[in-house]
A and B are shown apart, each in its own frame.
Chain A
Amino acid sequence: MLEVRDLTRRFGGLLAVSGVSLSVASGEIVALIGPNGAGKTTLFAMISGFVTPDTGTVRFEGRDITGMAPHEICRLGLARTFQIAQPFGRLSVRENIAVGAHLRIADRQDALRRAEAVARQLGMERLLDQPAAALTVAGRKRLEVARALATGPRLLLLDEVMAGLNPTELAEIVPVLRAIRDAGVTILLIEHVMQAVVSLAERVYVLNQGRMIAEGPPAQIATTSAVVEAYLGQGAAQRLGGRAVAGAVP
């Protein structure tokens, strides 16, 4: 469904993303993890058209979308959320979601009705008339997902929609995301909350300093020494010795 090949992007002297490839198959939930500054958000920005890659290609459902404008990519069925929620602050939750719904629905009333349906899907029906600016962090993150979902995507890019949520909120959103996938929307998510990654994702990619250093099922990734070192520093895997690895091997 999504094929990213050798994407590279340089910001001045900083090589933000270097020769990164990844693929997502239809119906999957794939996670993209990595320490801060690894280039995850830049990679998302390139896939969704907000940043043009220096080299490399992005193909969505077989079509080359490299360098297309964000609204065109969204129209093709690939929607993204922002790491820092970007609500339309003075609009209500209903109106916020309707902006997304309008992509496929011209009529205002129909779009508002569609917004209500999407809000119910995300458990936000009680918040419909609240101004978006009044939402909590958890509410804003959910609104990001709702708006993107309202555009009727086949692939959703979720940028840290679980960061900053408390355990209760986390427990609520995980099944919501799974239900979205079960309804036929493929999901690629950036996430730091490993508990969520392990319970949601079928495959995990690990990005570090702009390069893809590992790929595999979550349980396997957690024991890969390159990944442990990316997070804890060089030699950490060895110092922790057999323990981390042994603990994970049944």
Chain B
Amino acid sequence: MRMALVIAAACAVALPLVVTSDFWLGFCITVMLSTLMGAAWNVLGGYGGQVSFGHAAYFGAGAYTAALLGMKLGVNACVALALAGAAAGLVGLLTGYLSFRYGLRGSYFALVTLAFAEVLRILAGAVDWSGGGVGLYVPLHVGAANLQFASKAGYYYVALALGAGALLVGWAIQRSRLGAWLVAIRENEDAARALGVHTFACKLKAITISAALTGLGGAFYADYYLYIDPGIAFGPGVSVEILLAPIIGGLGTVWGPFVGAIALQGAGELGRRLLGDAPGLSLVFYGVLLVVMVKFRPDGLIGLFGRFARQRPAHA
């Protein structure tokens, strides 16, 4: 296992030497960004079972924080990235407090997160200093310190670091007491409370970590695509895309978000090739994918591997 990890890491680092086409590097960047935010969502939704339909709130908070800090105050991009994570974490803590304090669970929690994201989307469009409905054009100043690069390889390494870092956070949570408590809350909240689990505190920690990581994704998005507007940053499409990767890959698993990100972005790219890029088509596609996965593979694609792994000794 450790050997496989080292090889995978080496391949990931060496990838830009082999893959030189902008298209495929761009694809890998998208996969890593999707991995980052999928792993972030997985902390709250996969381990904790608190399904959020509004992670765009944290993505957008990170994107706008990073863009505004850089443009208005001239803050260094690396510092802005960290602050974007912190700001998104704060938004997570606040929305989490409001939702969990009043005991919202299941679909009620999902709906209130969706509402928070929508409120932020409308606010971002209504306020002048955030660029209003026009959005923000992030100026391009190529340089590693600005997290802006002449070639896609540079962006790839930043995305790789963020994605791998998020997977690492997931791994650490899975083997921690917080992780065990989150899973207990997911499986049966009352039983968890009876065993001394402070469910409110655990859920707040989870949503704060989850939101902060998602905010890093938003900040990277702004630095990479150089343009954000309220719909891109806070729209429901973002929320759906974030939750799809871990659901497709495997909820509450370390590698699920990564496997899901590859499958999701791969299928998305294929869909665009075959069907063109009509507006809204991707959402239809996401919907179909989600229904199929939840109906036929609730364990996600990872569950497939798990099944083969378990069967192997029996055949041998």
Annotate B185-199 by CB proximity to A: 1 below 8 A, 0 otherwise.
Answer: 001101111111111
- Contacting B at CB under 8 A, from A91-105, are 91, 95, 98-100, 102-103, 105
A233 to B123, CA, bound (A): 67
Residues of A within 8 A of B175 (CB): 108
Cβ of B184 within 8 Å of any chain A Cβ, yes or no, is yes
Residues of B within 8 A of A151 (CB): 195-196
A82 to B194, CA, bound (A): 9
Q: Which of B179, B187, B193 contacts A89 (CB 8 A)?
A: B187
Main DSSP-derived SS at the B contact region: helix
Cβ of B107 within 8 Å of any chain A Cβ, yes or no, is no
Q: Closest CB-CB distance, A162 to chain B, in whole Å?
A: 19
Cβ of B183 within 8 Å of any chain A Cβ, yes or no, is yes
A147 to B175, CA, bound (A): 19
Residues of B within 8 A of A80 (CB): 194
Cβ of B76 within 8 Å of any chain A Cβ, yes or no, is no
A159 to B95, CA, bound (A): 37
Determine whether the beta carbon of B194 is less than 8 Å from that of A111: no
Determine whether the beta carbon of B180 is less than 8 Å from that of A98: yes
Determine whether the beta carbon of B196 is less than 8 Å from that of A86: no
A74 to B190, CA, bound (A): 13
Determine whether the beta carbon of B180 is less than 8 Å from that of A148: no
Determine whether the beta carbon of B195 is less than 8 Å from that of A111: no
Residues of A within 8 A of B196 (CB): 71, 74-75, 79, 100, 103, 151
A87 to B183, CA, bound (A): 12
A79 to B175, CA, bound (A): 25
Determine whether the beta carbon of B195 is less than 8 Å from that of A147: yes
Residues of A within 8 A of B20 (CB): none
Chain A CB count within 10 A is highest, among B181, B191, B196, for B196
Q: Which of A50, A103, A105, A106 contacts B195 (CB 8 A)?
A: A103
Determine whether the beta carbon of B183 is less than 8 Å from that of A91: yes
Residues of B within 8 A of A50 (CB): 190, 193-194
Residues of A within 8 A of B187 (CB): 87-91
A147 to B177, CA, bound (A): 15
Determine whether the beta carbon of A86 is less than 8 Å from that of B180: no
Q: Closest CB-CB distance, A189 to chain B, in whole Å?
A: 16
Residues of A within 8 A of B176 (CB): 108
User: Please, which residue of chain A has its CB at the minimum distance from the CB of B191?
Assistant: A86
Residues of B within 8 A of A89 (CB): 187-188
| For the complex of A and B, 9 pairs with smallest distance between CB atoms | A74-B196, A88-B187, A86-B191, A103-B196, A70-B193, A99-B184, A100-B195, A102-B177, A71-B198
